[in-house]
Structure 1
């Protein structure tokens, strides 16, 4: 619209240039520019502010008065804008005349014949179809529930979603607030005009500085930030899912709530939501005063891999496959079966490192071997266990010393270890999982949990699952010479060594027919039908040959076959074979 009548045109040269005629100076509502060599002017059209309760005016600086907007996190919003948090669609904001009301959306239930679904980016669950309260709604229609003007619904993409409306906090004085008939939220019924206050806030009849608390009640907290009153308001649900007699509201509570219902179980009170175990296989929970229990069902016919066993751990209901401990056995003259299953004979007559945790030095087991008046063999005479600051010595005839003091079995030290006796052996059971067994004569068995795999060293090997590399010397070198391997693990110096035998075995009991027949007769149990179930699982010939060797120089008052037989039976049972077998009575008597 041009403001100059014909014949009064102002001419200009630069196309598009802004021009301010002298007659219009100081009028912020009219702007002029150059078009086709003539000055053309237009008047700015101001928006209708009839529904705005708080108007900002600048008196000549700007043409139009503006409805008070909001600032939040550096962004500017107009009065009436609503938005959701980028990381939480249920957390909503609405700007109303310089006041931001932040709230968490309360979802309202909708009668959905085919169930509900929460779609991506939405807060409330929705259901297929837009039929609500018996009425079919059009696509995109926004409406309020007939029974509740505060429950807003929308039909989008053939689905209806309803939520409880959060009423915005109003900036006008309370006497200017009214709630229109049939509507949920109140409105300001009068309009106020104010100058721009900078970072300060106008709320009701007062002006507040930035950072100052503006308003606070049980449901709303407000503060002045960046010229905007920032309010956090709690919205109460329309209904509570509990009996009316169980609804409570504290003096400082905004919304009523359901008082937790208590479950009484045999005189014990459980709060709502509590979970407990009736037994290892049955768990129960308290849900709104009702006890609900569930029995855990175990998997049937669970098969474990080799070197694993089916075991039920303390506190568990169902068995599971647990890796077996590594076991090293020393028996007879002596024969060694490593953690990884390698069996060899070593006749050294000194003190040796049997096994140790060479990574963290949790424990160390040493043995002392002597000849016991034989020509060619040696036998384990004493076992030494070092466990932290404690030392345990296992001597002949079940004599036990702890920290150099002879003790009586059973015996324990706090939760570090306990010592007891079963039918045949003294057992040392430790808090780190290792178990040491000693028959009071020459049979030793060391059980080590899988946590020490690949951390072990000594005559029992490195416990890495590969028996082919068990003959590793103290210096870490591999050898096929058992004597070289064994002597590398000697400890304590020569004072513990029996020098009467320094060469390899030359004597053979097969040169003595009486000794040969005695050995065969004593060792025949290993080959008997009584142990037939073991023969296909554990190589009997390895233990049978060891038994014959033990009997070669066995004193007349001993039955040296017992240890090989016992070692064979124990290994068989470790492999899962069920045996109904009683060992030779003479072995039991000699124990």
Structure 2
């Protein structure tokens, strides 16, 4: 629970996250603070010295005999010497510690870095495994959806009405777009048409291997990116590349583009200019 201060009063407070002492004043109900460094040495007798308390930035340690500032008293996790009064980070325990080298030993406390933001799309901030005092950006591994793992950028169908996708570690789901179907008759016979079951599909002709009527042999052309000759036989659709092909135009003819993938080009005689 916080401490109430009277209007106009001045007081000290320790900011442990920033490792500093602040001198604050209550002005019209608003707290105004500035950095403040206590004068510790003035409290000691000649030949003695003390430092700020590592656990209380607004307090001082007990006085002790002054030692040369160049004398090493502490060794950090990298086996580097540290002088009395020096602040440094230490990762000896596998955690990030902030340490203060004092007369007899170092006083350390845990300082957990806050890793948030600052990464490009597709990456997330995380503690560095080799240095727990630093943050790094790692590729987002993916998403977990109902026990199934998906890579970042994957899209999948959850139901007849919803699609989901993995975006930077977050699963995003939305209604599927209503299908816009081309008007007009399909190339396959009416009895072979596979009817749509919802607004997200269109009526279509059976693909190779799908079920089709057994009553009679039916055939049609699928005029897609490539031309296929399809027919129903024994209750199954069979589709093969257009077996008929086209004859090339002769050297004295101009070739006009095909109408679709199953048509042949028009060959028009070249005029002599007469």
Short-chain TM bin? under 0.3
TM norm structure 1: 0.15
Who wins on radius of gyration, i.e. which is larger?
A: 1
TM norm structure 2: 0.27
**Structure with higher helix content:** 1
